[in-house]
Structure formats: C-alpha cells, structure tokens
Amino acid sequence: MRRKLAFLVAVFCATVVMMAVQKPVFMAYYAVEASGAGFRGWIDVLWHGLTLDLTVAGYVTVLPILVTLFSLWLRLPEKVWWGVLTAWFVLVAVVTAVIFAVDIALYEHWGFRIDATVLIYLTDPEEAMASVDFWLGVRQTLLAAVYAAGMIWVYRRILGVFDGRPVGWRVALPGSVAVVMLAGFDFLAIRGGTGASVANVSKVYFSPTQFLNHAATNPVFSFLSSLGDRVDYADEYPFFEEPVRAAKFDALRGNGPAAGPTEPVLNTARPNVVIVILESFARTVMDAEVGGEPVMPYMQRLKREGVWFENFFANSFRTDRGEVAILSGFPAQTRMSVMKLPAKSRSLPSVARSLAGEGYATSFAYGGDLNFTNQASYMYATGWQELVWQKDLRFDAPAADWGYDDALMCDWFADRVIALSDAGKPFLAGLLTLSSHTPFDVPYSKFDDKVLNAMAFSDECVGKMIDRLKASPAWKDLLVVLVADHSYPYPRTLTYNEPLRHRIPMIWTGGAVAEPRVVEDYAAQIDIAATLLAQLGIAHDDFDYSKDIFAPTPPRKFAYYTFNDGFGVVDASGEAVWDATGDRVVTATNPELLDVGRTMLQTTYVDIGNR
C-alpha cells in the first residue's frame, strides 16, 4: 500500500518540477526581455508561478488517483493498470511539450502566453503552415521532442514504483481512505488553495513588469483554461448589419469629433487623484433614513461639499464589470466578464495607463484578494504599477470573510495617500472597499437591518478617511472620486432590470475641486474616464465609449447599463429596458432609447471579439 501512495505523491511532485522547469527555459529563450530581472526576478517567477504548476499537477494526478483506487478493489492483471497509466503519461507529456514549444515560439509575435486563440489558425492548416519559418518549425519540433522524451522518461521511472497487484479488503479499506485523503489535497491544488478565488492566470501575477508575469504563467493552464472562452462574441447580439451598427455608434461615441471642450470644475491642472470604489453603495440606500436618521450621513455631507452627480448609474451589477467600466471606460457585458479574459482585457484603455504616461505613480489597494475574477491580471496589464492586497497587509485584527474591513483599510489608505503626497510625485491611488458586501458582517451596531448597518459602517469609515485627508497638507492638491462599483437591491421590491436598481452615487471632492455643484446630466461609470482625463487636459481618444460629462456639446448624454441578459438606457427624455429572454421590451417611455441600447450592446461584443 505504501508503494501505491508513494507513486501518487511522486507523480504529483514530479509534474510540479517538470512544469516549473519551463520557466527558466522561457526566460533564457527571451534573455533580452529577462535581462533586467536579476536573480530575485528569476526566483520570484518560479515562486509565484508555483500556484498554477500545482494546479496543472493536480489535474495530471487525477487519473493516477482513480487507477490506484480501482486497483485496490478490482482484480485485474497488473499490466492493465500499467497500460492505462502509460498511455496517460505519454498523452500528458506530448500535449504539454507541444503546448510549451508552440507557446515559446508565438510569444515573440503575440506578446502573451498561448491561449485558445491559436486554434483559430488551425482551421486553415495550409495558411498556418505558410506563415511558419522552416527552421523555426524544426527547432520547436526538436524542443517538443526533447521535452516530451524527458517527461516520459521521468514518468516511466515513477511508474516502476506503482504496485497494481490485487489486495484483500483489509488492506483495500484503509488504503481507500488514504487515497481519498490524498485526493482531497489534490482537489485543493486544482482549486488553487482555500481562498475565495479559484485558480486563474491572475494568481501568478506579481509584478508591474508584464514579461515577468507572463514568465510565471503556466502555458498549459493558460491554454486549457481558455478553451471555454472561444465564443463568437461579434454574433452574440446581431441587432444590425455591420455598416448600420457602425454608423449608429459613431453618433454615440464619446470621442467623436463633435465633442466640445470641457468645462473646468477643478482649480488645479494636474491634481493628485484618488479613486475610491465603494462596494454596493446604492443610491436608494444613500437616500434612506431609519427613524429620521440618514443611513449614510457622511456621504450626504460630502454630497453638499463637492461635485454631486444627481443622475448617475452603474453599468453593471457585478464588481468586476463595474471596475472595468470605471477604470477603462468600457461597457459592462451581460453573461460574461471581459476582466476574466486576460487576452482581451489587457488591450483595454485605462485611466491608470493614461496617467502613468503623464508621469503619475499608480497604485491600487484592496483589503481582500485581487486574484478574484482576474483583477490583478487586468490591473497590472492596464497600467497599475503597484497592487497592495490582503497578502501584503498586516493588521492586529482578523480578516473578515472577504478580507480586512473598511475601518482598517480606510485608516491605512489615508496614511498611504498622505505619504504619497509627501513624496512629491503626482499619483493616482485607488481603493476598493469591501465591508458593505454580503454577508454584511461588520464590527458595528447602528441599525437592525444587516444591509443598512453594513452600509452605514462603510459610510463612516470612508467619511472619517476623508476627514483625515482634509486635515492634512495632502488635501490642497487632491481630487477624490467616490463612486460605487454597482448598486444593491434595496428596497427588496426593486426588480433586477429597472433603472432605480442601477442608480449609484458619485461625488468629486478634495482641495482640487473649485466649488460645490450639482450635475444634472445623465451619465454612467463608463463616462468617468473621459471626464477625469479631460479635466486634467489629457487626451482620451482611445476611450470610445466614455463621454466627457462636462463637455457642453454632443455626444448625447445618457446612462447605459446591463443586467444578466439585457440592457437599460436612461436619459432626460425617458427610459428603455430590454430583456433578451423572449426578446422582451420591459419598458420604453422613449422607444428611441431601445436603438441606443442595442447599438451599445452589439458594439461592446463586436469590440471584444476584435480584441
């Protein structure tokens, strides 16, 4: 029995090592790109890449676990088990070697690790082969052959440990328990640990240098995990023929030639910028009172002190999609999230990249796990130079379900903003709060309703953070953007698709704000990018969907949002909501807005398909 268990452990460990070997080979192959990494960079690549190496090893070990378990109870000749395992190991070796060899060749041209995109070119083998240099093909074939042969040799040595002889039930019963326990550990490796986020490419991202993140990525995982992403996005919502769609969108695009100059609302040309993304801050909750007492008194006060956007909407109902809308000016999707597709999200424009190009230091903080929904991958790829999250923080308090609560994080973030200001370099600093997220467990007791109580807690944490900043020298040159990632269904009678369900607060405050004002124009999260950059005198031509809210001339001012399988559009003339389930118009007080929504939805998916 010991030999059976030793065999499983050996398969797993050997696979991890053989996957890890790919990283120094990859970095040596691209020695120029790796030249600035230093010894520490090489070690970091191996260490951070271990997460996905363990995941791949976990998948490889699944069949050996099953064979070992069956061999305890089924009285089959040992050569049957050997045959199954040999075939499996040869398959694993060949597939791994081919993926690695193709990946290492394509990276030079693509700039990212292999994914399912490569399968598109296999639909026309003649054209694919015509673009391959002969000697490159020979070299990569030899690399694949040597690597596969090495893996097969290792697996054959390990296979010699396997004992497939039948055993009695007295051995089989405890043996099965031991194998199942090993299977539990294997499942954790496949899952990527015990945290909230499961295995994804973002788990290995650790550096603002994209090459090092790519070097840490396991190409086998990158390829296989992307197989389910092969969707014809452009055909998801075919409302209009392509020329018609393009013409309709030209009339809506935020960066069109008709857009006029912005109206300045700041008193300094290049302030330091803080973006605080408020978890689940619904407009309905902000306006709510309990016994005459406001649920969010700090937000109500800040609303009067800064620039208040009266008719502002979230683009989605999920954090990952809301973040992309806020930080990249890219509309939310219905049944998918572009943030989860690194091959797509890395090409999105972003406020961070635009400001970094103007000399700003960019950093983002979150008290939870930024690997969740591939956030870290998206942020590093779009210009955030430094990410700080739960793994980097040490507080004398336990973390809640989603991470460190807002009291800890807001206090820490205030210190950070003050320190960044003292450093003298212009900066963009972001913070995502988390305490107002389900299950709404917070160290606070103000209201009996858990949702309102958690929202009140976050409101107080953010408000006190703003008060600390206001009392510091950093305030003078600071612009703070407070905006929700999405809304929340409060009261419970709100339906998932109605406009009020997606209405959220946005406030601009800070010493850089010239004077308090109320903005009545309809807008949404995607409009933040163009509006902010225009105030700073920075071009925003690459933000196709983002409209400058303070531009007095076209494009048309409207708020657009999506839900699970549909969209809503709201402007001063009315509203329209369409649900794809049954191709149903839920409401259309202004039917013209249906075409606006259809154009935005189709264009979003066409855009994703082209990235």
Length of the chain: 611
Mean local confidence (pLDDT), 73-89: 91
Q: Name the residue type at position 107.
A: Y
Determine the Cα–Cα distance for residues 547 and 353; give it in Å rounded to an integer: 18
Q: What is the C-alpha R_g of the chain? A: 27
Is residue 434 classed as helix, strand or coil in its secondary structure?
coil
Confidence of residue 578 (pLDDT cuts 50, 70, 90): very high
511-533 pLDDT, tens digit per residue, is 999 999 999 999 999 999 999 99
pLDDT higher than 60, residue 129: no
Peptide bond into 297 cis (omega under 30): no
Mean local confidence (pLDDT), 392-417: 94
Mean local confidence (pLDDT), 311-317: 97
427-473 pLDDT, tens digit per residue, is 999 999 999 999 999 999 999 999 999 999 999 999 999 999 999 99
pLDDT higher than 90, residue 318: yes
Q: Which distant-in-sequence residues (6+ apart) come within 8 Å of 132 by Cβ?
A: none
Mean local confidence (pLDDT), 370-399: 93
Q: Please identify which of the residues 319, 382, 562, 599 carries the catalytic annotation.
A: 319
Two structure tokens written together for 479: 């612009």
Determine the Cα–Cα distance for residues 352 and 467; give it in Å rounded to an integer: 25
Three-state SS string over 518-543 comes to EEEEEEEHHHHHHHHHHHCCCCCCCC
pLDDT at 371: 87
pLDDT at 458: 99
pTM score: 0.81
The helix (run of H) or strand (run of E) holding residue 440 is none
Q: Is 194 a catalytic residue?
A: no
Q: Which of 328, 301, 230 is nearest to 462 (CA)?
A: 301
pLDDT at 198: 83
pLDDT higher than 90, residue 553: no
Instruction: Return the exposure string of 469-483: e unless at least 16 CB atoms fall within 10 Å of the residue's CB, then b.
Output: beebebbebbbbbbb
Question: Which position has the token pair 């064979």?
Answer: 67
pLDDT at 528: 98
pLDDT at 104: 92
pLDDT higher than 70, residue 330: yes
Annotated binding site for Mn(2+): 279, 319, 485-486
Confidence of residue 507 (pLDDT cuts 50, 70, 90): very high
Residues 212, 206 contacting (CB under 8 angstroms): yes
Name which of 56-70, 81-95, 171-185 the model is least confident about: 171-185
pLDDT at 257: 63
pLDDT higher than 70, residue 123: no
Is residue 610 classed as helix, strand or coil in its secondary structure?
helix
Two structure tokens written together for 230: 């092969």
Mean local confidence (pLDDT), 53-64: 97
Confidence of residue 122 (pLDDT cuts 50, 70, 90): low
257-299 pLDDT, tens digit per residue, is 655 678 999 999 999 999 999 999 999 999 999 999 999 999 9
Residues 343, 219 contacting (CB under 8 angstroms): no
Write down the mean pLDDT value for the chain. Answer: 92
pLDDT at 124: 52
Name which of 97-101, 214-218, 396-400, 515-519 the model is least confident about: 396-400
pLDDT at 76: 86
pLDDT higher than 80, residue 56: yes
212-222 pLDDT, tens digit per residue, is 999 999 999 99
pLDDT at 363: 98
DSSP labels for 55-111?
Answer: HHHHHHHHHHHHHHHHHHH----HHHHHHHHHHHHHHHHHHHHHHHHHHHHHHHHHS
Determine the Cα–Cα distance for residues 588 and 592; give it in Å rounded to an integer: 8
DSSP labels for 558-581?
Answer: -EEEEETTEEEEEETTEEEEEETT
Mean pLDDT is highest, among 248-257, 287-296, 581-590, for 287-296
β strands within 389-504, DSSP E: 427-432, 478-484
Residue 298 CA: distances (Å) to CA of 405, 452, 497, 507, 578: 18, 14, 29, 12, 36
Confidence of residue 106 (pLDDT cuts 50, 70, 90): confident
pLDDT at 538: 95
Displacement of CA 47 from its chain's centroid (Å): 22
Annotated binding site for substrate: 437
Instruction: Return the exposure string of 333-364: e unless at least 16 CB atoms fall within 10 Å of the residue's CB, then b.
Output: bbebbbbbbbbbbbebbbbbbbbbeeebbbbb
pLDDT at 174: 84
Residue percentage of the chain with pLDDT more than 90 = 76
Give the CATH architecture of domain 234-610: 3-Layer(aba) Sandwich (3.40)
Q: Where are the domains of the chain?
A: 2-229, 234-610
Burial (0-12, 13-18, 19+ Cβ within 10 Å), 549 = buried
* Number of other residues whose CB lies within 10 A of the CB of residue 305: 15
